[in-house]
Structure 1
Amino acid sequence: MRSLRGRLLVAASVVLVAFLGLTGLTLDSAFRDSALTAVQSRLQAQVYMLLGAANLDAFNRLTLPQALPEARFSMPDSGLYADVMDSEGNLIWRSPSLLGMALPFFPAVRNAGETQSAALPTSDGTPLFVRAFTVNWESSPNEYHLYTFRVAETQKAFLDQLWMFRQGLWGWLVAATCVLLAVQGLILRWSLKPLRRAATEIKEIETGKRGEMGSGYPEELLPLTDNLNALLREGRTHIERYRNALADLAHSLKTPLAVLRSTLENNASPDEIRQTLVDQLERMNRTVDYQLQRAAAAGQITLTAPLPVTPIARKIQDSLAKVYANRALHLRSEVAPGTVFYGDEGDLLEILGNLADNACKWCRRQVVMRAYSANRDGRTELILEVEDDGPGIPPEQAPQLLGRGQRADPTVAGHGIGLAVVRDLVEEVYYGRLAIERGTLGGALVKARLRFQASSSA
């Protein structure tokens, strides 16, 4: 069964029907036991009535009057019968209602005060409830006789009562089951309405009618819809980044191409053409490298495990130690325990690696990489710091180095493309901030703040 609503409806219906069925059987059994107890109590009361009416005649024989308090004993085939037997099993009295009939064989009770009950049929097959009670009757001083009083009643009244109860019980249970199934179906339809809405919105996203999932979903579906929206936004962001990178690349290549065309059209000397060609090719190469690195940024990744920063920092430290082995630099990383990065490993390598490489180029002997987390405005921030003991960057030059300016050709800055790529990753991809300060070692301190969604830090 592929329908979630169908599964829930079938499962709940089976449980409901089983529960009501067991309830009906339990109530039926309880009512039957109660009715049987009532029958036995009624028969026992009739026995006590016969005991009260019995007496001894002049010959010390047990006799009962012709007119008994219960009129049915005097009416043939009334459905209520009685007889009395002595200790030998001889019948000494029978009610007029037994005219032409006899109570079925019933073992005599030998001990005084004992009772015995059974459901037995008569000779013509009529089912009866029979109850026997034995008494020790004193006929004269120190002389006792055992008598067994038997009372029987047809089962018709009991069966009719049981049938009426069962008819009402199962009728109401079936009606209640139908009503509850209908209500259950409505409840399931109402409960699953957010899922149907989500399916509809997903289809609308596929057809381009909407950009992301709506709001107002139950809290059980919020992680799904929020993360799906985050994935959609990430996809749009990546596409937009590629488009911008291609547009910037095309715009950046226009200038060197125009210079080359102008040089060729002005009949420049071969040396001038050669030099112009080398310069512009180098310029185009740097532009392509920059735009490719900028477009390749993955950004924050939803529905993925956070990336520990410590192994990445050690990898960068080991790599730079080999690159600058001839300078015997003192490199160290200080990463706070539990610091993680919510994004692609390549982005973290690009940011921290470029900053650390730039610091190694300008330092004298020491470079320190630091990483720690902070929480600000409900979002998790990862702070990356790279400090060196070089000459540093004058405060008046820091804004110029980090300023956006015109994006027609963003690679013309004298510090190469590394810092520009880091700036774009930090500010455009991770919505953070890049700052240059004076460090405690005397050189430059470059601090990058990367911001992540609150849901990622949960």
Structure 2
Amino acid sequence: MLIITAVTLALANVYYNDKQQSLELEYGSDLLERLPMVIETMVTQGVSFENTVSETMPLQGYMGALCDDYGEVIWKSVQAKAFELKELCQQVQGKGSSALTIPVRVDDNKLFFAHVLSGTFNGIRGDFVALRDGQAYEQWRAESVEKALITVILFLVTAGVALYMTFRWAMRPLKTLETELQHVSEQKQVALNEPYPYELKPVVTALNSVMGENIHRSQRYRHSLNDLAHSLKTRLAAMNVVCQENSIAPHVQAELLSNLSQMNAMVQYQLKRGLTGQQALNKQSTPLLEIVDNLHQLLDKIYADKKIELDKRISKDDEIPMGRDDLMEVMGNLLENGFRYAISKLRISQLPLANGGVQLRIEDDGPGVTESRREQVFQRGVRLDEKPTGQGIGLAVCADIVESYRGEIRIEDSDLEGACFVIELPPVEDWWDQ
């Protein structure tokens, strides 16, 4: 658009200059055509410097003056009496041999076109200056500038609209492609189905091939992990039964059971890590209240003797930018920990972030977590307490899932005097950009 503007202004300037020169030439030619009539009138009537003879010029808008060798006006026609013609002689001095007219400005910058004849008039050497009023030319120039500006503005507006419409039309296939890719990311479709122009067909074909291979590989990966989990669990359970037989020495039995527990924890962690967080590749959100209600009913039965009061500061419209399975895994681990360590109160709330993301806060009135251990508890195999129950992988899996969504998880102090687990997630649109 800048190039079009520059070219348009340059062409308008060239046209204006050409028109200006053409009009100046027209004015000069007209003055030259009428000059013999002016001179003939002056010769027949004579030029008297005592004003005893008529000084009338024959044509309206034309006037004359005589300049002596000293640059002074020594005679003016009747039409020129209204003007002092200051500096006229200085502007035309030495131009007597020119066959063309020249523009001059006298008095209050008033424009005239002048033709100069050098010679001797009534015995006095000087220059006769024939003048034509340039008021019509000035008016034309002002009107031309205004018309040129209006024409240029209208042309640029029209060109801009045409360019915008052309750009929109040319970019429509890319907009369609963006929409379809968004639908794929939201799992509304699995491939690009719209008809695209010839230039985009190789790109669309390649994208469909990549997405199909990704879906196939993801399914195969999940099936392999499920098979592996079943095989490992069966064999670990069998080894655990064998190790508990009385024929094995107590210290050997304890060592074997400890190693089997560690192996089981490692297997469970790697399997969960592989099966969760995969949905971060897709743009989707999950209602939070539904997940919390389902987990609350289950945990209320497990920890019925504690009578935990769960304060849900969330509404049915609150959604978390996370896949359903991943959100279930994260909230299941955090709420289970909350019910386990809380004394009587547990609170969950959702807050908006300035960048458009969300913040989740799960707080309890339990013993809390010391600052020295707040980073360690998200590492595999580290538990909040030293009780033998649990494998120490729940919070590590939570951290992996949150990080896969470009989020952050941390522990703070709660005003309930316990621990506060804070999860901050960016808006869905940021996943696509990143």
- Please indicate, yes or no, whether the TM-score normalized by the shorter chain is above 0.5: no
- The structure where helix makes up a greater share of residues is 2
Give the TM-score normalised by structure 1: 0.41
Q: Which has the larger radius of gyration?
A: 1
